[in-house]
A and B are shown apart, each in its own frame.
Chain A
């Protein structure tokens, strides 16, 4: 049979995933929307989230190709868009679960019909192995597991093939949601162990290129730096089987090229597009701009820098920031405003607008009350990797602060160096920052961004009461009678102390042209499972 004949033959024949890599031409493209093409500017650098060096874009493989015990449900936002629902935890590989009376032991029953791609039944031993791996490999996965109170292998047990237990050192409201984030995904332990070595007991080398899971999609092809092809797993029991047979994620670094592709309709999804494109494309196609939960773009004032130790100086700056202009120029109005909120705190909504607006007279009054009435100069640092929003923001802040006598010089820091100086050394006096917490509770945000020495507390903020309130509320159930009161007190303190000035809540923008049912997730990666072609 010649090549051409083989191709013609294959084009007209329905084919399983196994034969896919041998084809020269992807079959059945013309017929309907069985295949979706997604473009993204980021590169997927690993198929294993647990590996050291795996980047954010690669988390999507853990989401689409692996299952967790539990997942979050879906809700419809006021805008009519779909979003994951933090309040609603639903089964994925677990059929049911129960919490012991003291809140220390969670017992999961696995779905009896769940199988891995190779047909083997998913057992509690696989779950145990995968969880042991997540807490043992170090780096990001281990940190994320710790956030839910999961830190050592002896917390996990598999009493029988379909029962899995997690024993906690202390009860925490974060434990169950932390099992629904991408990190604790369940690996086919038999396959992994068969490919493990003495130096590499967790099969990091193997799983980096060869996923072994039970998830909704299998990886049909991965050409590093170019594309990833997902192929539907028809035996998936973790949720409704995906509507499309195949999803191709193509990496296109140039934003202009991505825009041309989605406008021409040659691709169906352009993921994570800039605010400007979202603004301009909104009337040509479906554009989702979902404010990212628990994420705020902030201007941070480092207490290492002497003038910023003065609360009046911090307030002067908070009153002098041109919020509206920044929101319109840097964010093209995408996202949610974080200024002009009510003076008094009566609820636990977070992120919430702080009670500051742009009022240069108030700003001057505060500055006059401080020890720096004549003003001062300070470098305003931004990251070159995030220049798209940081640069216009910094220039507008610079211009406005000039009017109250504070002169800023904008300092651009290379992306590779940014994390070290901003977050680890915390040595930047005045800078822009954006932390977003995966677990959607205000106390979780405070834990990372307002507690002493925590990574995202780049302001070096320390307040004894905030420390204590955060520690008390972090693991407290949200329906605890004291919870709301304590959280509101935390809000009041940081709104008055203002070490981080919220600018706006950024949006995740996704353009769809020929696809529907896109769902927003806190991890800011494409969940290919619900999405369908039109």
Chain B
């Protein structure tokens, strides 16, 4: 077995206790929440008898330790349980909604990177110039405007006043149907299906929410790019490179930028994991059927299986993301090696 592969396996092995911890904590925390799901799901006119019937039907009359072992047993077989509010297996729900959130978040991040990284680099290279000021204004606006406000503002201007944007009705306007499901990403699925009309319809729906999220996420990325570029540009090896007569572009992109990228990638990982859970407000405003609003709805009605499934899915996603980021470090900076850890 090659060294990098062994290192990756070792990293995966290390996540087992983390995931186990997440399972226990999410189980205990959901039970500690105020609210009684039996009362909630017994409906508006429930009396004591019907509440009790519901409690038994949900298995909530069992002692807590038994509930946990039943849950853990199901989990080992890959069964996340059934959501009471949607009446479907939690796994099905997550498979429906996670791609919607991922599509939105990834598009927003791509957009944010495409703007923030060049802006950050330029701001560092031309410190004090108008680009630097523009960067500062954007960053300040990005962090200070809450996403739901930006979202509503964009809807007001581009949909309500100008009528350019499509109806903010979720992933596709109601005249289109979902493309055949392969990845769950409408943009990719519609292309795989060879259906450009649905592709553009999905893209049009995506622009406003992705812009909203991008405005919010570009701030930390631009700040970090600028700061790390400044550090890199003032370091000894850049001076050496310049003294050696290397071209400006080579110095900037070959040496400074590559070294500055490391903290940017770290920030990117943090921003991604943060935004995936935090874009619930954007999802609400744009009727986006994502995982954030699913989790919040589950929380409001104390839908235990759904909350636990969400927490677990997020934990696994973060573990995976961290692994990817760690691996990308070794690509960016050959001095970092897994074996060294």
Query: Which residues of A are interface residues toward B (Cβ below 8 A)?
Result: 3-4, 7, 21, 23-26, 29, 37, 39, 43, 45-46, 51-56, 138-140, 142-144, 147, 208-209, 221, 223-227, 248, 250-254, 256-257, 260-261, 263-264, 266-267, 385, 414-417, 419-420, 423-424, 438, 448, 454-455
User: Are A224's CB and B86's CB within 8 A?
Assistant: yes
B174: A residues at CB distance < 8 A: 26, 37, 227, 248, 250
> Which residue from B35, B48, B152, B177 sits with its C-beta under 8 Å from A414?
B35
Q: In the complex, are the beta carbons of B287 and A417 less than 8 A apart?
A: no
Chain B stretch 13-52: residues in CB contact (< 8 A) with chain A:
33-37, 39-51
* Closest B residue to A437 using CB positions: B45
Given A257-B285, A416-B300, the answer on whether A142 and B50 have CB atoms closer than 8 Å is yes
With A45-B85, A254-B285 as known contacts, state yes or no: A56 contacts B44, CB within 8 Å.
yes
Given contacts A140-B43, A250-B169, A420-B36, contact A53 B84 (CB under 8 A): yes
Asked if B197 and A417 make an inter-chain contact with CB atoms under 8 angstroms apart, the answer reads no
- Which of chain B's residues have a CB closer than 8 A to the CB of A423? 39
Residues of B within 8 A of A264 (CB): 159-160, 163, 167
25 of the cross-chain contacts (CB-CB < 8 Å) are: A24-B177, A24-B198, A25-B175, A138-B54, A139-B43, A139-B50, A140-B43, A140-B44, A221-B177, A225-B86, A227-B170, A250-B287, A254-B285, A256-B152, A260-B160, A385-B300, A414-B35, A414-B300, A415-B300, A416-B40, A416-B301, A416-B302, A417-B35, A455-B45, A455-B47
Contact A252-B169, Cβ < 8 Å, known A143-B46, A264-B159: yes
CA–CA, A251 and B293, complex, Å: 12
Known: A4-B197, A250-B169. A53 touches B41 (CB 8 A): yes
Which one of B57, B160, B176 lies within 8 Å of A24 (CB-CB)? B176
User: Closest 5 interchain pairs by CB?
Assistant: A416-B35, A140-B43, A138-B53, A417-B34, A53-B84
Cβ of B156 < 8 Å from any Cβ of A?
Answer: yes
Contact of B287 among A3, A23, A251 (CB under 8 A): A251
Given contacts A224-B88, A250-B170, A264-B159, 20 further A-B contacts (CB under 8 A): A3-B195, A7-B197, A24-B177, A24-B179, A25-B177, A26-B176, A52-B57, A54-B43, A54-B87, A224-B93, A252-B168, A257-B285, A260-B159, A260-B168, A261-B168, A264-B167, A414-B300, A419-B39, A424-B48, A455-B47
Contact (Cβ within 8 A) B54 A23: no
A501 → chain B closest CB, angstroms: 22
Interface residue? B289 (CB, 8 A)? yes
Contact of B50 among A140, A223, A385 (CB under 8 A): A140
B169 contacts A139, C-beta separation under 8 Å: no
User: A140's contact among B45, B176, B195, B286, by CB below 8 Å, is which?
Assistant: B45
Instruction: Report which of A208, A252, A416 forms a contact with B34, defined as CB distance below 8 A.
Output: A416
Known: A29-B175, A53-B41, A250-B174. A256 touches B35 (CB 8 A): no
List of A residues within 8 angstroms of B293 by Cβ = 225, 253
When C-beta atoms are compared, the residue in chain A nearest to B152 turns out to be: A256
Q: Give the residue name and chain of the B residue nearest to A227 (CB).
A: B174
Instruction: State in angstroms the CA–CA spacing of A45 and B53 once bound together.
Output: 20
Residues of A within 8 A of B53 (CB): 138-139, 142
**Residue from A23, A24, A37, A55 with most neighbouring chain B CB atoms (10 Å):** A24
Contact residues in B for A256 (Cβ distance below 8 Å): 152, 155, 285
Contact at A257–B168, with CB atoms within 8 Å? yes
Give the docked Cα–Cα distance between A492 and B83 (Å): 47
Q: Mark B72-110, 1 if CB is under 8 A from A, else 0.
A: 000000000000111110000100110000000000000
CB proximity of A451 to chain B, nearest CB, Å: 11
Per-position binary interface string of chain B over residues 172-210, scored 1 when its CB falls under 8 Å from any chain A CB and 0 otherwise: 001111110000000000000111011000000000000
Q: Residue on A with the closest CB to B299?
A: A416
* B292 shortest CB reach to chain A, Å: 11
Q: Give the nearest-CB partner of B92 in chain A.
A: A224
Q: Which of B139-176 contact A (CB under 8 A)?
A: 148, 152, 155-156, 159-160, 163, 167-171, 174-176
Question: A53–B87 Cα gap in the complex (Å)?
Answer: 8
Contact of A420 among B35, B285, B301 (CB under 8 A): B35
B294 close to A (CB within 8 Å) = yes
Determine the chain B residues whose CB is within 8 A of the CB of A225 once the complex forms.
Answer: 86, 96-97, 289, 293-294
Nearest neighbor of A20 in chain B, beta-carbon distance: B177
**B42 CB, nearest partner CB in chain A, Å:** 6
Q: Does A143 lie within 8 Å of B85, measured CB to CB?
A: no
Residues of B within 8 A of A208 (CB): 87
Residue of A nearest to B37 (CB): A416
Given A26-B175, A260-B155, A416-B33, answer yes or no on A254-B87 (Cβ-Cβ < 8 Å): no
- B331 within 8 Å of A (CB atoms): no
Give B279-304 interface residues, CB cut-off 8 Å to A: 283-287, 289, 293-294, 297, 299-302
Bound complex: CA A252 to CA B34 (Å): 27
| Residue on A nearest B285 in the bound complex, by CB | A254
Residues of B within 8 A of A248 (CB): 174
Cβ contacts under 8 Å, A417 to chain B: 34-36
Residues on A with C-beta less than 8 A from B40 are: 416, 419
State the Cβ distance, B213 to closest chain A Cβ, in Å: 15
Nearest chain A residue, comparing its CB with the CB of B281: A254
CA distance A68 to B148 in the complex (A): 43
Within the assembled complex, what's the spacing in Å between the Cα atoms of A423 and B35?
Answer: 12
In the docked arrangement, what's the CA distance between A289 and B285, Å? 25
Give chain A residues whose Cβ lies under 8 Å from the Cβ of B170: 226-227, 250, 252
The answer, yes or no, to whether B114 is at the interface (CB within 8 Å) is: no
Nearest B residue to A144 by beta-carbon distance?
B45
Interface: B336 (CB within 8 A)? no
Task: Flag whether B250 is at the interface (Cβ < 8 A).
Answer: no
- Nearest residue (CB) in A for B166 is A266
B58 contact set on A, CB distance < 8 A: 52
Query: What residues of chain B lie closer than 8 Å to A252, measured between beta carbons?
Result: 168-170, 287
Nearest A residue to B42, CB-CB: A139
Query: What is the distance, in angstroms, from B158's C-beta to the closest C-beta of chain A?
Result: 11
**List of A residues within 8 angstroms of B97 by Cβ:** 225
Q: Which residues of A contact B299 (CB under 8 A)?
A: 416
Distance A385 CA – B284 CA, assembled complex (angstroms) = 16
State A424–B42 Cα separation when bound (angstroms). 12
Residues in B with CB closer than 8 Å to A454 are: 47
Whole-angstrom CA separation of A24 from B159 in the bound complex: 24
**B111 → A minimal CB distance (Å):** 21
Complex CA–CA separation, A417 to B96 (angstroms) = 29
Given contacts A139-B53, A140-B50, A416-B35, contact A254 B300 (CB under 8 A): no
Q: Do A52 and B41 have beta carbons less than 8 Å apart? A: yes
Contact A43 B297 (CB under 8 A): yes
Of the candidates A45, A224, A420, A455, which one forms a contact with B96 in the assembled complex, judged by CB atoms under 8 Å apart?
A224
In the complex, A143→B87 CA distance in Å? 21
B293 to chain A: closest residue by CB: A253
A223 cross-chain contacts in B, Cβ below 8 A: 178, 289
Chain A residues lying within 8 Å of B198, measured Cβ to Cβ, are 24
Contact of B284 among A7, A53, A254 (CB under 8 A): A254
